[in-house]
Amino acid sequence: MNRLGILSCCLSAALALGGCRPNPQKPIPNGQNTDDFIQIPEGWANPEFPEDNGFTDVRWALGKDLFFDVRLSVDGSVSCATCHLPAKAFSAPESVTPGALGMLGTRNASTLTNVAYQPHFMSEGGVPTLEMQVLVPLQEPSEMGHNIVTACDELALDYAVQAQAAYGRDFDPFVMTRALATFQRSLISGDSPWDRWQRGASISESVQQGAQLFGADGLGCDRCHTPPFFTNYGFANNGLDAVSTDPGRWVLTGDPSDSGSFKVPTLRNIGFTAPYMHDGRFQNLDEVLEHYAAGGAGHAHQDSALAPFTLSLEEKNDLMAFLQALNDTGFVNDALWYP
């Protein structure tokens, strides 16, 4: 069964098993700061939580425990954190990350930086919520390879107390998916040197020049990587190949013009998230820049904005300084994210 088939089965199971029970705690309402667990950068809206999954610290703690639990995989070898390491801004160092039973994935593990603000998930964008997203890697054979019902049965005793405290019900797929989503929504990063500069702090002249080069008056990178999240949440074929080896969004839409198109990734914490691209083919930012400077590989459906360009050594250094200014070391080093 392919990924989309697995997703369909997962969603059906989730709807069947979800149910509705009163929340044992009063969740923190949308728009209200969640203090120690979710730090909202100045000027940013609070992330929205679903009506059936409002934020509480108990739900957050349960989600964090599950995030690091290797027993979510069928052979107990990988956890969510295997592919989304806090020290890597919740990404992975491998081009494609090994999964359960020695299987190898097909896509690079993207960062979870600011997923609370994303309108859709997975590279094709076919999953509308974080709660649903949990189901895909859990049951994908090349990732965790487990059955969510079986996994919950196996962990029910160990998480019984937390599940009742957090959701007022036994540990089941409803609890697992929502607790993991709660934890992931807290992964908000918005205190990089660039952010502090925007709030009035000083920054190097090189970063300022790089920001100008990055923007609309320069290379126009902000068309797709739009501040403050440094993504427009859209989809694009960025010309990696003349002929796509991975269909990308086409597999979801059935539209040939979506061939090789993937969700535009955030550039936040980009210094921590190498390797780059959906297949992890570029090991460093120099290789990424060389690809874009060449204007792409000439795919029939590559983004029309891609065009060759030339940078002087000084301009290249300035652009790299700007990209490094998007790294939020406080976020990566925050003890809150580590077990």
Q: In the chain, what is the straight-line distance between the N-terminal and C-terminal CA atoms, in Å?
A: 34
- pLDDT(42) > 70: yes
Who contacts 179 (Cβ-Cβ below 8 Å, separation ≥6)?
Answer: 59, 62, 63, 66, 166, 167
Does some domain include residue 338? no
Do 28 and 136 lie in a common domain? yes
In this structure, what token pair is assigned to residue 30? 């949308």
Length of the chain, in residues:
339
In the chain, pLDDT over 70 holds for what percent of residues? 89
Distance CA 267, CA 232 (A): 11
Per-residue model confidence as pLDDT tens digits over 72-112: 999 999 999 999 999 999 999 999 989 999 999 889 999 99
Distance CA 205, CA 202 (A): 9
Please classify residue 233 by burial: count the beta carbons closer than 10 Å to its beta carbon, then call 0-12 exposed, 13-18 middle and 19+ buried: middle
Do 202 and 67 lie in a common domain? no
Do 171 and 302 lie in a common domain? no
Per-residue model confidence as pLDDT tens digits over 172-190: 999 999 999 999 999 999 9
pLDDT value for 38: 87
- pLDDT(24) > 80: no
Average pLDDT over residues 125-152: 96
The enclosing domain of 314 has a CATH number of 1.10.760.10
Q: C-alpha distances in angstroms, 68 versus 110, 171, 180, 224?
A: 17, 17, 10, 32
Would you call 73 helix, strand, or coil by DSSP?
A: coil
Do 150 and 223 lie in a common domain? no
Does some domain include residue 339? no
Q: For the whole model, what pTM was predicted?
A: 0.91
- pLDDT(12) > 80: no
Q: Of 172, 188, 204, at which residue does a domain stop?
A: 188
Which residue range(s) make up the domain with 175? 3-188
Distance CA 162, CA 185 (A): 19
Mean pLDDT of the chain: 91
pLDDT value for 34: 56
Q: Of 159, 188, 217, at which residue does a domain stop?
A: 188
Does some domain include residue 232? yes
Do 127 and 238 lie in a common domain? no
Average pLDDT over residues 226-253: 97
Cis peptide preceding 128, ω within 30 of 0: no
Would you call 276 helix, strand, or coil by DSSP?
A: strand
Residue 35's pLDDT band, with cuts at 50, 70 and 90, is low
* DSSP states along 2-24: -HHHHHHHHHHHHHHHH-----S
Do 213 and 280 lie in a common domain? yes
- pLDDT(3) > 80: no
Do 149 and 232 lie in a common domain? no
Q: Do residues 167 and 61 make contact, with C-beta atoms less than 8 angstroms apart?
A: no
Residue 27's pLDDT band, with cuts at 50, 70 and 90, is low
Residue 148: closest CA among 179, 111, 109: 179
Average pLDDT over residues 59-80: 98
Q: Of 135, 169, 188, at which residue does a domain stop?
A: 188
Residue 6's pLDDT band, with cuts at 50, 70 and 90, is very low
Would you call 36 helix, strand, or coil by DSSP?
A: coil
- pLDDT(285) > 70: yes
- pLDDT(325) > 90: yes
- pLDDT(43) > 90: yes
Do 289 and 175 lie in a common domain? no
Of the listed ranges 4-8, 153-157, 271-275, the one predicted with least confidence: 4-8
Please tell me the total count of domains within the chain: 2
> For the chain, where are the E strands, in sequence order?
235-236, 262-263
Q: Do residues 91 and 110 make contact, with C-beta atoms less than 8 angstroms apart?
A: yes
Q: C-alpha distances in angstroms, 96 versus 39, 275, 277?
A: 31, 9, 11
pLDDT value for 212: 98
Do 248 and 274 lie in a common domain? yes
Residue 184: closest CA among 47, 17, 333, 339: 47
Do 140 and 271 lie in a common domain? no
Q: In angstroms, how far is CA 308 from the centroid of its own chain?
A: 29
Average pLDDT over residues 16-36: 45
